[in-house]
Structure 1
Amino acid sequence: MDSSNLLIFIICAFALGVVLILTKNSIPPKLRRGYAIAALVMVVIAFFLLVYSFYNMGR
């Protein structure tokens, strides 16, 4: 797995989560749930990939 692509995805996923938290009042109510679910999925995947990369670093 290319670590630069992984790093870019992790940074983007966490940045999206932070942006959605900071701008939650300006997002239209109908889109809030979809954006929150998408950001949550991306952050969970990024966290899993981060842990997976640390686990495989020792091998």
Structure 2
Amino acid sequence: MEYGSVLVFVILAFCLGAVLIMRKDTIPPKLKRGMAIFALIMILVAFFLIVYNLLTMGSSPNGG
């Protein structure tokens, strides 16, 4: 698995969530709900990737 890509995705997902929380008053109401759902999905996938990487941390990528 490409750990650099996973790390970038996790950082971006949490940054998007933080920006949406901090700037929630300035986001237009029509975009707010869609962006919140999109950020929630990204954060859930990021948590899944973190847990998956922690569970498979000790295994060898080539099976040997």
**TM over 0.5, yes or no?**
yes
CA deviation map 1:5-52 (0-9, x unaligned): 000000000000000000000000111100000000000000000000
> Which amino acid in structure 2 is aligned with residue 23 of structure 1?
R
Partners in 2 of 1:6 and 1:24 — Cα distance? 27
Gaps of 5+ in 1: none
Q: Which residue of 1 aligns with 2:62?
A: none
Gaps of 5+ in 2: 60-64
Greater percentage in helix? 1
Q: Which residue of 2 aligns with 1:23?
A: 23
Partners in 2 of 1:56 and 1:32 — Cα distance? 36
Aligned residue pairs total: 59
Structure index of larger Rg: 2
Identity %: 54
Alignment root-mean-square deviation, CA: 0.6
> Which amino acid in structure 2 is aligned with residue 13 of structure 1?
A
